[in-house]
Structure 1
Amino acid sequence: MRHTTLLCAAAIASMPLAASADEPLAAFDVAEDLSRFVFASAPVFEDGMPAYGNAFVTQGYIYPAGTLDGGVEGTLPDGEPAFPDLVIGEWTCDGYFVGDGMRTETGAIVMTRQVYRFNDGDLLISHGAELADPGFVVTRAVTGGTGDYAGAPAEMHQVMLGMSDGYGVRLQIELGDGPEPTYPSEEDHTEWDSGFPVGPVLPNASLQTG
């Protein structure tokens, strides 16, 4: 009986050690679900779109790194994940529009907090600017984490892959030392500005808060 008890105690004691052996993801992708994007009723432009200082919140899906390579969409038009079996967590983003609000064509369009809640319950939190320009690297501060992310590096690097009509932004995130930040020039902006919507696009006006 004593021998069995000792074996059980040893097995239980080893469980936390096994769990701590898990490593945080070094990179992952995010796809916004635009049906969950809402913004404040003021300040707004004449057309009702968010102006400088407008507060908003949005959510989406976390996928393994590389899922959204090549312009792949991660969200269906109805807001459901395009690859439900690959979803590894939920992304929540809140913040404020800066620059020229929704009309920002290049540079920082929002200052945000992003919370990445993984399916196993672990959390990762970052703060920083987000660019209106796809394809450029922006550095964000990692300001918190739990579980496997309790000891996460102090910074992460984000690239907006782009945004498609009605589907929201697609992001790639890399933790720790990554590529140097890059910033768009007027020349770069001219190259990519070819009719795609700039900033989050609302499918209908009912998403505004009262």
Structure 2
Amino acid sequence: MFKTLITSTALALSLTTFAKAEAPVAFDVAEDHTRIHMAAAPVHENGMPAHGNAFVSQGYIYPEGTLSDGTVGVLEDGSPAFPDLVLGTWTCDGFFVGEGGNATTGVWIISRQTFAFNDGATVVTQGTEIADIGQPNLRPVTGATGDFAKMGGGLTQTTLGFNDFWGLSATYSFEGTAVVPVLAQDAAYHIGGFEQAPAIEDDHLEWDSGAPVGPIFDDSVIPSI
């Protein structure tokens, strides 16, 4: 009985820990200009990337508010300005569209963005990026792991500006979402470091075709024993 009590207590403490675990619902990104790579063509006459130009870039994820008031998050050599605050790595790949690098408003990029956090959690969004500074743009979340696996909705990107090295500064926030507490019936999906959504079905109507289900016996084709 004492052993059972110890086990139950340990499980309860684990569930409490899981319930308290929360992923950040907002964070900033500072693009590292030394890791921006664009295709040699097509480009505009001024050298800026034109429609169809492919690119890949990386940067640093910081806590929300780190890059407010024009704070630059990357040093000239590409290292993080605040190494102790780095939450993970941001990777963006895609294509310039429309006016591309010459755009001042509207959609200028179609991209995939991957947020890889230091604790192993990830978020992937895919959609449009707009050239407008300070204008929120909602991007669909197409995948997530770790503490983000139970967050729904989209991720809003707001471009704060570009630093002296032409690196992007942006802030991100989840819209209409919150981390769902881990309940007792979900614990098995988290213990051991694995994150998997439990198979729970809501009530729903099913179409009935009227056709019989299961084996159909026909005395005319079944030999007598």
Q: Which moved more, 1:4-13 or 1:157-166?
A: 4-13
- Residue 156 of structure 1 and its aligned partner are, at CA, apart by 1.6
- Structure 2 distance, partners of 1:5, 1:85, is 42
Residue 166 (structure 1) shift = 0.9
Specify the SS of the correspondent of 2:28. strand
RMSD: 2.4
Alignment match, 2:87: 88
Whether the aligned pair in 1 keeps the contact of 2:32 and 2:74 (CA below 8 Å) is: yes
CA distance in 2, matches of 1:13, 1:39: 52
**Residue 177 of structure 2 corresponds to residue 161 of structure 1:** no
Distance (Å, rounded) in 1 between the aligned partners of 2:150 and 2:5: 33
AA partner of residue 56 (structure 2) = V
Q: How many residue pairs align between the two structures?
A: 177
Counterpart residue number, 1:30: 29
The equivalent residue for 1:67 is 66
Question: How do 1:47-196 residues align onto structure 2 when only pairs under 5 Å count?
Answer: 47-177=46-176
What TM-score comes out, normalization by structure 1 length? Answer: 0.75
Letter in 2 for 1:164: N
2:74 counterpart letter in structure 1: T
Q: What residue is the counterpart of 1:186 in the other structure?
A: none
Corresponding residue for residue 196 of structure 2 = none
Please tell me the residue identity of whatever aligns with 1:65.
Answer: E
Q: Which amino acid aligns with 2:132?
A: D
Identity of aligned residues (%): 47
Structure 1 or 2, whichever has the larger Rg, is 2
Distance 2:66 2:124 in 1: 21
Counterpart Cα distance in 1 of 2:10 and 2:74 = 42
| Partners of 1:53 and 1:19 in 2: CA distance | 45
Gaps of 5+ in 1: 179-210
User: What SS does structure 2 have at the residue aligned with 1:150?
Assistant: helix
How far 1:41 sits from its partner (Å)? 2.4
Amino acid at match of 2:108: I
TM-score of the two chains, using structure 2 as the length reference: 0.71
**Relative contact order (alpha carbons < 8 A, sep ≥ 6): 1 or 2 greater?**
1
CA distance in 2, matches of 1:99, 1:152: 32
Matched residues in 1 for 2:19 and 2:49: separation? 44
Residues 156 and 177 of structure 1 are in contact (CA less than 8 Å); yes or no, is this contact kept in structure 2?
no
Q: 2-side partners of 1:132 and 1:18: how far apart?
A: 41
Q: Which amino acid aligns with 1:27?
A: A
CA distance in 2 between counterparts of 1:128 and 1:20 reads: 31
How far did 1:103 drift? 1.4
CA contact (8 A) 2:60 2:80 kept: yes
The aligned amino acid for 1:168 is: G
Deviates more, 1:62-71 or 1:40-49: 40-49
- Could you tell me how far 1:34 is from its partner in structure 2? 0.9
Q: Structure 1 residue 167: deviation in Å?
A: 4.4
2:151 and 2:52 mapped to 1: Cα distance?
A: 30
Structure-2 separation of matches of 1:21 and 1:143: 25
Of 127-136 and 12-21, more deviation after overlay is shown by 12-21
- Runs ≥4 in structure 1, deviation > 6 angstroms? 2-6
The alignment partner of 1:35 has SS state of helix
Mark the CA change 1:144 to 1:20 in structure 2 (over 3 Å): closer, same or farther: farther
